[in-house]
Structure 1
Amino acid sequence: DVIEAMDRTGLWGRLFPEWGAVRDLPPRDRAHVWTVDRHLVEAAAQAARLTTTVARPDLLLLGALLHDLGKGRGGDHSIVGAALAEQIGHRLGLWPSDVETLCAMVRHHLLLPHTATRRDLDDPTTAQRVVDTLGGDPTLLELLIALAEADSLATGPGVWTEWRAGLISDLAERCRAVLAGRPAPAPEPLTGEHRALALQFVTSGALHVTASGANGPDALTTITVVAPGRPGVLALATGVLALHSLRVHSADIRVVELPGGCAAVQSFTVSPRFGRPPDVALLRQDLARALDGSLQLEDALAAKERDYGELSTSGAGSSDVETKVLWFDDEATGAVVIELRTTDRIGLLHRVAAALEGNAVTIRWARIVTLGGSAVDSFCLTVPGGRGTPDGHTVLLPEARERIERAVLNAAR
């Protein structure tokens, strides 16, 4: 109310002349329910609840107020905003070191959420890269942790989820371990229960599907699938989940080699698009039908998209998402990460997984982020046909990379 009153009288514009470019600026996607200027005010209000969690509450509030100020000017809004934050900091009379911290907050305000939701946190280089980007500054790290929460809460309902909060918390703890010189948490091994289920599948051939977690609207559920360890199973599993209106947020895929054969242990973190999660028995039944070919997933998903596609892709700006593919290296394992940015649609993950598995690559893990009508899907790949390097890693050959990228782009259309 105070800021709105100052804005109406022109005082706010005198204090922050840079505010004019974001005043009443509409958001780019449906996830943001406010105009950019209102979002910044809401973020500052959310940050006020978190001031006791950081050493510099003054910089947290100011960083929250300015973090998206670079929007509406062209170029990367984080870089543009950092330059604006620098001139504002000097004009407000902040100490040079505080101006530097404020600029870094604006420049890197997306670093933690993007890294946590799109990269392998078990890769020790992930946390190390974040710490290096922040110059090893623990105060800046804590400010960005709080800013990530305030920014998400101010974006709109359903953005700051239990899943997102857990990933950012995990990444933050790993970064703290790097800063303190402690060993990073080791990757979780395959549990004894999952290994027993894999052995049971190899012995009996019985498909295993279970669900755990809360049961209700917007609740996160973990679906565990133990199925044949062969190419194409991930695409079938994600297709069945999409058929039952489940949105996949993350997936962990492990192939267990046993004396009698191999089994794929797949864990999916999901939430219902609407209503409540389906009965596990129905998921198991449809997955069994998909595996034996009696369920034509492509036809079923196409019919569902015709019936419900408007619900998943309608909204301002949802059709304006540019489809593109980015590539990154996973230094610790030698795998590569492919990131797809496109418009969300029913069955998208199924089609992309089918395209990847059809190109003889192994998907180690997947991270799926959906904001409004936009989807950012990241897949960690290992490629049998890659070229070896002196350190034992695998390099995806350019021609193979081009072929895979073309297949993924076609699947996203």
Structure 2
Amino acid sequence: MGDVAARRLDLAGTRSFAAAGAGPERRRRLAEFNAAWLGEVWADATESLRQPPASGIALAAVGSVGRGEAGPLSDYDLVLLHDTRALTNDDITTLADRFWYPLWDAGVRLDHSVRSVSQCRTVAADDLTAAVGLLDIAPVAGDAEVVAAARATVSHDWRAQARRRLPQLVEAVAARHHRHGELAQSLEPDLKEAHGGLRDLTILRALTEAWLAERPRGEADAAYALLLDVRDAVHVVTGRGRDRLGREDHDAVAALLGHDDPDDLLAAVSDAGRTIAYALDGTLRRAGQSQRARVLRVGPRRPQMVPLGYGLFESDGEVVLGSGSLVETDPQLPLRSAVVAARAGLPISPTTLDNLATKSPDLPTPWPATARDLFSDLLAAGPGLVPVWEGLDQHGLVDRWLPEWAAVRSRPQRNAVHRHTVDRHLIETVVHASGLVRTVGRADLLLLAALLHDIGKVRGAHDHSVAGAPLAEDVMRRLGHADADVAVVTGLVREHLTLIELATRRDHADPATVDAALAAVDGDRDRFELLLALTEADAVAAGPKAWTDWRAALLRQLATAVRARLDRTGGEPSTPGERTAYETELAATTASGDAQIPDEIVRALAAGDPHVEVVANGGSWRVDIADRDRLGLFADTAGLLAAEGLVVRTAVLRTLDGAAVNEWHVESPSGSAPEPERIRRGLARLATGDRGPLGLLERRRQFARRRAGESGLGLPGQPRALVVPGASTDATVIEVRAEDRPGLLHDLGIALAKSGVSVRSAHIATYAGQTLDTFYVTDRAGRLLDPGKVAQVVAVVIDTCDAG
């Protein structure tokens, strides 16, 4: 690091982050340093010329340096600006070399150009990004009038060409947002380029400069200052001029900015990003309105008002209040406005939201029935709910209706499955649930449960489902719902993870699994269908990692088993050894769906030739394998599939007439389908003791170990193995949590086989590099393991996980 960079970091030392309002003062000092140092270099460069110019040439800055907002390690974006009459081309070249080289020698990051005023005008006309940047051009040294002339010329052209360039600007902004994502919804946000980032406020300034719209101030400026502070802190803690807040920097940046918890930092950054994004989106709409007004204006232009009902109108793509609306006397008008806007797929005008937030009276507690109905209509509006809810939230109306919302607003989720903050995830869940309302008897309760299912994800909550249930109850009572409905929604919130956990971690053919699913809904069919729909909506809203084809298939399979029990017993718990017809079929069926093994497969098995069939299942595959039953077959199959690069999700193992008839559900990260002939040949070789087919697995293991060593990352914690009591009446259920690695399932299979344990089924899940595997095991005679054997198996499993 050069002396200049070190000096800038020293000016932005850790103490400069401690005091309130320290950010603007820190950036002022940095701006003064930048101006002084660049001025010195400029003076040295110009004095060395034979005839130093008195006027007509200057050093100018654009970007953060030009705005006086540069961070400790921001790039220098400089322009050597000249009037072509001031110096010859040779003199300009000489001056540029004498100025740029000392900057490079000082080790600073430099973006530089040499331009005349007319060239600035040409570049701005041809390059949209350059035009926006040159609007902020500021003098650093030399003739300030040249810089003023360039800025005035570019600004004049920008205003004159605003109508033509606005569509280009909108398209460029959308493309940038698509590349860099939404700042508010990222755990590693790009503070500059993402939607809601620092560059978006530069766009706001450009729109204002074009006289197309007024720039929102107040909250937008405060949000911008916060992001600048975070950017400065990133520079200090990393020693690099980064704009991305990486996961590895969360703790240090949070501490530097005075946050006790890095999640509080991320919530503040998310809030700031949402504020800026909301301001930009609204300003772009108003700029478009202004542009259309210029195009259409022949005489005085009257706004086109399309009535939407309830005193609300569509005007220029926004919902606005009519002049006769009773804002000050109708407490339900905000709800009516939201319903109308969401159904129409339109945002509510910020001015209208301000009026609704500041002038409309509060709803009484409990809410009247008409207000409850309006709220249900709002939740049922579909995708139009998302932007409308954001506007309501930005203007404080959501807090008035749901005070509990403040605790989950912008709350980050450090989970590889989730793609949104808690509050946005809740709204996305409602949107997806609105497409499932015809599958349930009470659509309103489904939507309310979707809105509230993660309301307990607050700081300090050990189990957010349990913590959320009383909060959901408070909300339901405030809204005025009947006791029975309160109990249903509260129960759905408490149990919203139960079905997906049973579907992915338990054996659906085991009556105890169905018992657990029914216990979560008190044996009630209507509540089960509500919980099933909520489970699907929650997973879909979480993202593609939470709602894969195999997880959807497992949930459908569990639902079929539960419905079969409900049809037969009305939801009563099973008695020991009792199965429904579906459970019996599921437990005894072969992979192909027949109760008996076909004769040709029997003959092949007798000759020592395994049978393998691959069935496509959306984005995953089912691999049906029939082979002679033998010790270690489970481990060999798991190892072979891992060697082929396949990820096992579920294995269901059955024995019929001395033959193993097993069903494996796998995914292929490469996208290539499993090759049944390769798997068949590999199993045949393994049965003879030839371990050659597992050679590729060992190479995968070595590669994984090398990568782990190069990363320098330690294990996230010790592996755990525990018995799940009551999960099955005829098998011992062991749950294993450990760091995932190639061949782990193979290693566990070998360990269980050596322990004298049979695996009846295995249910595999992996999140963020951590595996959560559930094994249904018995002794060789098919009985539950005794306590001593359980302790031995648990110890062996832990040792096997540690051995990797």
TM-score by length of 1: 0.86
Q: Give, in whole Å, the separation in 2 of the partners of 1:347 and 1:26.
A: 33
Which amino acid in the other structure matches residue 421 of structure 2?
T
Closer/same/farther in 2, CA of residues 409 and 196 from structure 1, 3 Å limit: farther
Q: Shift in Å at residue 207 of structure 1?
A: 2.6
Output one character per residue of 1:213-271: Cα deviation in whole Å (capped at 9) or x when no partner. Answer: 25xxx7221212223311111111111101111111211212333xxxx3322221111
Aligned residue for 1:139, secondary structure, equals helix
Q: 1:238 to 1:133 in 2, by over 3 A?
A: same
Report the CA distance between 1:38 and its aligned residue.
1.6
What displacement does 1:277 show?
Answer: 1.9
In structure 2, which of residues 611, 627, 646 is the aligned counterpart of residue 227 of structure 1?
627
Q: Give the secondary-structure state (helix, strand or coil) at the position aligned to 2:679.
A: helix
**Pick aligned residue for 2:468 from 78, 81, 95:** 81
Is the 1:29–1:318 Cα contact (8 Å) retained in structure 2? Answer: no
Structure 2 match to 1:129: 516
Shift of 1:107: 0.4
1:63–1:320 Cα change, 3 Å: farther
Deviation at 1:328, TM superposition (A): 2.8
User: What's the CA shift string for 1:171-221, capped at 9, x where partnerless?
Assistant: 22332333343554232434266353552244211232221225xxx7221
The corresponding residue for 2:585 is 187
Moved more, 291-300 or 76-85: 291-300
One-letter code of the match for 1:43?
A: T
Cα distance in 2 for partners of 1:361, 1:58 equals 49
Partner of 1:206: 609
Query: Where is the helix percentage greater, Structure 1 or Structure 2?
Result: 2
Aligned residue for 1:69, secondary structure, equals coil
Shift of 1:310: 9.2
Corresponding residue number in structure 2 for 1:25: 411
Question: Are the counterparts in 2 of residues 251 and 367 from structure 1 also a CA contact under 8 Å?
Answer: yes
Query: Counterparts of 1:249 and 1:343 in 2: how far apart (Å)?
Result: 16
SS at match of 1:39: helix
The answer for the alignment partner of 2:430 in structure 1 is: 44
Cα distance per residue 1:371-400 (max 9 Å; x no partner): 343322111111148xxxxxxx94422221
What secondary structure does 1:25 align onto?
coil
Match of 1:379 among 746, 771, 775: 775
Partners of 2:613 and 2:625 within 8 A in 1: yes
Partner of 2:339: none
Aligned to 2:447: 61
Asked if structure 2 preserves the Cα contact closer than 8 Å seen for 1:25 and 1:37, the reply is yes
- Helix, strand or coil for the counterpart of 1:194? coil
Q: Relative CO higher for 1 or 2, CA cutoff 8 Å, sep ≥ 6? A: 1
Mapped to 2, the partners of 1:365 and 1:104 lie a distance apart of: 30
Taking a change above 3 Å as real, the CA distance of residues 297 and 66 of structure 1, as seen in their structure-2 partners, is farther
**Aligned counterpart, 1:390:** none
**Residue of structure 1 equivalent to 2:793:** 404
Query: 1:389 matched to which residue of 2?
Result: none
Question: Offset of 1:84 from its aligned partner?
Answer: 1.1
Report the Cα distance in structure 1 between the residues aligned to 2:788 and 2:456, rounded to whole angstroms: 38
Displacement of 1:325 in angstroms is 2.1
Structure 2: segments with no counterpart, 5+ residues: 1-386, 570-579
Q: Cα offset for 1:321?
A: 7.0
The residue number in structure 1 matching 2:548 is 161
**Matches of 1:358 and 1:179, distance apart in 2:** 40
Between the aligned residues of both structures, percent identity stands at 36
Q: CA deviation at 1:23?
A: 2.4
Q: Give me the CA root mean square deviation.
A: 2.9
1:277-292 equivalences under 5 Å are 277-292=673-688
Report the alpha carbon displacement of residue 137 of structure 1 after superposing the two structures with TM: 2.0
CA-to-aligned-CA distance 1:311-354 (integer Å, 9 cap, x gap): 99x99x99647732231356775211111123333222112222
- 2:652 is matched with which residue: 252, 260, 264? 252
Give the match for residue 497 of structure 2.
110
CA distance in 2, matches of 1:339, 1:279: 30
Structure 2 CA distance, aligned partners of 1:75 and 1:142? Answer: 27
Residue type matched to 2:424 in 1?
A: R
CA contact (8 A) 1:336 1:380 kept: yes
Change (3 A) 1:115 1:211: same
What secondary structure sits across from 1:181 in the alignment? helix
Amino acid at match of 1:35: T
Runs of 4+ aligned structure 1 residues displaced above 4 Å come to 296-299, 308-312, 317-322, 329-333
Matching residue of 2:697: 301
- 1:8/1:338 Cα in 2 relative to 1: closer, same or farther (>3 Å)? same
